[in-house]
Each structure stands twice: as structure tokens, then as C-alpha cells.
Structure 1
Amino acid sequence: MSPLRILHLDGDLVAIDKPPGLLVHPSRLDAHEAQTALGLLRDQLGERLWPLHRLDKATSGVLLFARHADAARSLGIAFETGQVRKGYLALVRGWTAAAGTIDYPLARDPELPSAGQPRVAASTSYERLALFEWPMRVDPRHETSRYALVAVQPLTGRRHQIRRHFKHLAHPLIGDTTHGKGAHNRAVAAWLGVERLWLHAHWIELPAGAGNRRIGAPPGAEWGALIGALPAGHKEHA
């Protein structure tokens, strides 16, 4: 595998642009996977690293690691207390509202049935960037299918939060094999020529106490057809 793309490197942390399909660290759910971002970057830099947060295996974009235990502790607190802001790009089924906030408690463990689980507060804001109507007859009632590109900010940090919240809105993410719609996933993959989860961790902003850094990862080339459709006033989001 090619070396991981380093977006930022200082004495406390390193940020990479994680490609889709790469685990962050070893997981019992993907015990067969030999490669992880943690292992590859550790070998690339020749040092021990501490993961500061997670991205789903299928998600691309900004991923941070601490370079020493003190940084892991202080930055870990910043993540846990909601001081770190994060922005994502997502392609979803249907035409969303222009903007909104999803306040919907989620079951604690997304890998288990929701029934009987305690629910935890979760909040996600979003802004619609572009609308698409493509000549694909996924639903036999309609000659075309509609999708939206959205900029998303999770205001809390629950597992699979963005994916579960947009499912709740009936606008599931395209390429989401767990919470999405298989017919739409297949149709969009054929239309765009790319099969992936359309979720990209676009930027992370650290609080002032951590240097007030904003680290971004431009979306990959496969997002070009979507980004190119943005109005001029929205291009700064991508």
C-alpha cells in the first residue's frame, strides 16, 4: 500500500487523509483485516501513536493521532468534552431541507438491536449544498432519482451518528450498506462509476488550548462530479 498522506505533523499530533476501506485500528468486527491506519502510520513514522478518534472503515478523510501520551490525554479530553469541531461531506438519498438540526437520541451500541438499549442524546446539523436528479429508475413509480450533497457537523460524538441520523430523516447515506438502501447504492455506484460510502471527514478544528488548528482533507477525485455542481457561494464548503 502507498504511504498514507500526511496532512499535518507537529510535536503533539499527526493528521492523515484516511482512504475509504481502511480500519483505524484493529477491531474484533474486522478481525480478518491485517492493515489498519494505526499500524501503517506507526511503521511509516517509526514511532508509537495514539488514536484520538474514530472514522468508520468506509469513511474517508481527516484522522488524528497523538504522538505522545500527554498529547493523547489532553486532546482526548478535548474530544470527549465536545471542544473539537468536525465537518463532513455526505451524499444522501432524496432532497433534504435547505438546512436543519437533527436532535434524536440514539441507542448506545449500533451493532446491537436498538430495542431495550439505553438511548443517549445526539445532535447533528447540516446544510444542503447541491441537489441532483439523475435519470435512474430505482423506484418504478418515478423515471428519475433524487439525491442531495450536504455539509454535516456532528454536535455530539456517537458511533455511526451521521449515518443513523440521516436514516432517521429518511435520507440515508448513499453507499451505506447497514443503514442505507441497496437499490440506490447500486444505482449511484453505476452512475458515478464508484462504489463507496459517500461520507468524507472534510475538516477538524481543534480548540484554542490545543493550538486552534483547523486541518482539512480535500475530497477525493471521485467527488468531482458532485463538487463541480456546487453554486459559487458553496464551493468554500468543499
Structure 2
Amino acid sequence: MSIESDTENTGIDNDSANPIEIIYEDEFLVAINKEAGLLVHRSWLDKGETRFAMQLTRDAVGCHVFPVHRLDKPTSGVLLFAKSPSVARSLNEAFTDHQVTKQYLAVVRGYMTEQGTIDYALSFKRDAIADKLADLDKPAQEAVTHWQSLAQIELPFAVSKKHDTSRYSLVRLTPETGRKHQLRRHMRHLFHHIVGDTSHGDGRHNRFFRTQYDCARMLLHAQTLALSHPVTAEPLRLTAGLDSQWLRILEEFDWVESAKG
């Protein structure tokens, strides 16, 4: 028997007045649809933040929760928590042993080929505060990402001086490894920067989407998470819907059907 989250393939705008959107919960686990701009937990890097996914989820379910993986602050989508340390350890092992499949949606600059794989090791990137005690001589770590191009569009706007039009692709990204900023850095390495990425992206395309489509977020979304339930061993597939900025882009580009998980 396969367990699927309640929001499977809805494509519904998940913006709401609720502090957190729960997409799956049982006595062992809870999964939420993390909004873009929300930190997973408190961090010295963002001292001014007052809202955190872990605390909001704890308050919503009425018990302590334990993070088992991470999403970057500007990334939205499926975020899974355990309700006990023992279940958290089991899930951490599943992530470490590559027993969890993660699939992301992204909008990138340029036309990507139909499908492919990038196997490109990533060097350690130090955060001035969070990683001040980290070993700076770490060798580059293996990093592998698979992609599938879902849709493409050419727009009659000259975002760069070299071309009279601008091209974009909707892609599904499936990382095998979980390195820091892996998808963002891999797409930059391929010169298919993720739109809205202010750290590893292309500022010209970011500004174009802000001014032309009122889209100020990074267009990277953790759409699905598939794993075996750590207690029952049943297949579990969690899916997070898209927010209003994502849906506006998909509708504008006629990509709604292409984006379904």
C-alpha cells in the first residue's frame, strides 16, 4: 500500500492565512510545504528573523519535531520532520544512504536538453558565521544531479545585449547527493542559472522576472519526496503545491500541465 500526501497533484495555490501548511502527518512524522523565505530553524546568519519552520510546525502539531533534512531559505516545498529522536535517526540514515528520492521544479535561463546528468564535484563553501570553525581544506565532494526538461519558451525581450529574445526552461531536478546549494551551483556551472537565485544566478534575468512578472522569489521548489515510512516501511510520497508567484509564471508561459508531479 502506498501512502500519498493529501495535496498530491492538486496544483492549487497554497498561499493562505495559516502559519504553516501541513501536507502529511501521522504519529511518527509531519511534512509541511515550506514557503519561500522561511528558515528551517534559528540561525546566526539571520538574526533578524522571527519565524522558523521548525517552531511553526511544533506549534501546529503540539509536540517537539526534529529536522531530518534541509531546504535553503529561498527554496519552497516539502520539508519533513520526525516526532521523536529515534525516528529522526532512522530518517537521517535513509537520507545518508540515498534511500530518499527528491524532485524539484525550477525555471532556468536558456533551453536545456531533454534530459541529462551533471556529475560535478563541489568544493566546500564557507559561511563566515555558521562555518567559522569548519575545515577549509576539505576536498571537493562528489555531487550528482539529474535533470529533465519539461517545457521551454522564447520571449520577445532582450534581457542580454547579445540576443533580441530570451529563452527559459522548466526543468525537473533530481539530486543524487545533498551538497550545500547543489542544484543552484550545478545549474550555474551549466550556464542555466535558476531564475531568482541572488547568490548563484544571473542578475539580469532576476531583474527581468521582478519587473515583468512581479516575481521576486527564487523559482526552485521541492515538489516531491519519496521514501519508505521509517516505522511501517510502506511507500510514502509527499507532494507540495505551488505558491501564487509560481502559478502566475506557469499560467503566463502555459506550463501548468507540464509542471504536474
TM-score in same-fold range (> 0.5): yes
- 1:6-52 alpha-carbon deviations (Å, 9 max, x no partner): 00001111000001010001112112212110111112222111011
Cα 1:12–1:195 shift into 2, 3 Å: same
* Cα drift, residue 224 of structure 1: 2.6
Q: Which residue of 2 aligns with 1:31?
A: 47
Letter in 2 for 1:217: A
| Richer in helix (by share) | 1
Alignment identity in percent? 44
- 1:153-194 alpha-carbon deviations (Å, 9 max, x no partner): 011111110000000001110100010111110101222221
State the SS of the aligned residue for 2:180: coil
Cα 1:184–1:231 shift into 2, 3 Å: closer
Letter in 1 for 2:225: I
Letter in 2 for 1:167: R
The 8 Å contact of residues 18 and 63 in structure 1, kept in 2 or not, is answered as yes
The 8 Å contact of residues 50 and 69 in structure 1, kept in 2 or not, is answered as yes
The 8 Å contact of residues 110 and 159 in structure 1, kept in 2 or not, is answered as no
State the TM-score, normalizing by the size of structure 1.
0.92
Query: How many residue pairs get matched?
Result: 234
* Cα drift, residue 223 of structure 1: 2.3
Contiguous gaps of at least 5 residues in structure 1 = none
Structure 1 position 97 matched with structure 2 position 113: yes
The 8 Å contact of residues 87 and 201 in structure 1, kept in 2 or not, is answered as yes
Q: What is the Cα-based RMSD across aligned positions, in Å?
A: 1.9
State the SS of the aligned residue for 2:235: coil
State the SS of the aligned residue for 1:106: coil
Contiguous gaps of at least 5 residues in structure 2 = 1-16, 129-135
Residues 42-191 of structure 1: matches in 2 within 5 Å?
42-109=58-125, 111=127, 117-191=138-212
Cα 1:62–1:101 shift into 2, 3 Å: same
Letter in 1 for 2:245: E
Q: Which residue of 2 aligns with 1:218?
A: 241
Q: Highest relative contact order (Cα 8 Å, sep 6+), 1 or 2? A: 2
Q: Which residue of 1 aligns with 2:7?
A: none
